[in-house]
Amino acid sequence: MVIIELLGPIVNGIGILIGTLFGLFFNRIPERFKETVMSGIGLTVILIGLSMGFASDRIIVILLSLLTGAVIGELFDLDEKLNRLGAFIEVKFKGKREESNIAEGFVTASLIFVIGAMAVVGALDSGLRGDHEILFTKALIDGFVALVLTTTLGIGVIFSAIPVVLYQGSIALFATQIDRFVPEYLLELFIEDMTATGGLLIVAIGLNLLKITQIRVANLLPSLITVGIVLYFYIQVGNWF
């Protein structure tokens, strides 16, 4: 049943909603506290990204995935479109964009919650086996992260639940087709390389949060898809030799 396959993604979205609502109670802390908290979040995000980045030793696959993903992302200017969507939500919700940072909260939280192996592996487990344990665990983690992010980025974090449910829900619904056409060993390698690639994107988010860089992370998102294509050809070339 569809509702069973989508239970994990829906609970994950609810976890983000609850975390954001709790975070709103702590939203009125002094600005200097917010700046320090944001620095702590940025450092933690970088640590998470680095730990994920070592999931694979196929550096050439990760590099080519990032390069091809960047070209596609820049061609379609995904970063601008995502920010435009955030600005649209901000205007509709607040009325005056300059009075809040809803767009920043939406974009930052969406990227953090969507990128990562737990989202993919958890959604696959939900779709293939009806096992939602990974996404239930992710719901708790994302809820806590949403709480912390909301203290500095505000109500915009709550809207990130929408792309999370849509992204993970789509994977869960198509999981049977993925399992049918993709060999298990190739899927395992893909998850490793996607985790490492996603880890680098999360490092970029952390650097942006610390205001060290202004990397257009959304324009690198296609690399999470192209990593599968690059990996396939990498294996084929290896078989030739």
pLDDT, position 142 = 94
What pLDDT does residue 92 have? 78
Taking the CA atoms of the chain, what radius of gyration do you get in angstroms?
18
Average per-residue pLDDT for the chain: 89
pLDDT in tens, 137-165: 999 999 999 998 998 888 999 999 999 99
Q: What distances in angstroms separate CA 69 from CA 63, 84, 211, 235, 239, one per listed residue?
A: 10, 20, 23, 19, 25
Q: What is the pLDDT of residues 183-220, one digit of tens each?
A: 888 989 999 999 999 999 999 999 999 999 999 999 99
Q: What is the mean pLDDT of residues 163-168?
A: 96
Q: Are 153 and 101 in contact (CB under 8 A)?
A: yes
Question: DSSP label at 77?
Answer: T
Residue with tokens 């619904």: 173
Give residues with Cβ within 8 angstroms of 196, minimum separation 6: 52, 53, 54, 55, 56, 58, 62
At 74, which amino acid appears? Answer: E
Confidence class for position 41, pLDDT limits 50, 70, 90: confident
Of 172, 103, 106, 110, give the one whose Cα is nearest residue 142. Answer: 110
Contact 127, 1 (CB under 8 A): no
pLDDT (average), residues 25-44: 83
Percent of the chain exceeding pLDDT 90 equals 63
Query: What confidence category does residue 130 fall into, taking pLDDT thresholds of 50, 70 and 90?
Result: confident
Instruction: Please give the model's pTM, rounded to 2 decimal places.
Output: 0.87
- Whether the predicted pLDDT of 176 surpasses 80: no
Buried b (16+ CB within 10 A) or exposed e, 83-100: bebbbebbeebbeeeeeb
Consecutive H or E run containing 186: helix 184-209
Query: If you search the block for the tokens 């994990």, which residue do you land on?
Result: 8
pLDDT at 167: 95
pLDDT band at 91 (very low <50, low <70, confident <90, very high): confident
Q: Residue 234's pLDDT band (boundaries 50, 70, 90)?
A: very high
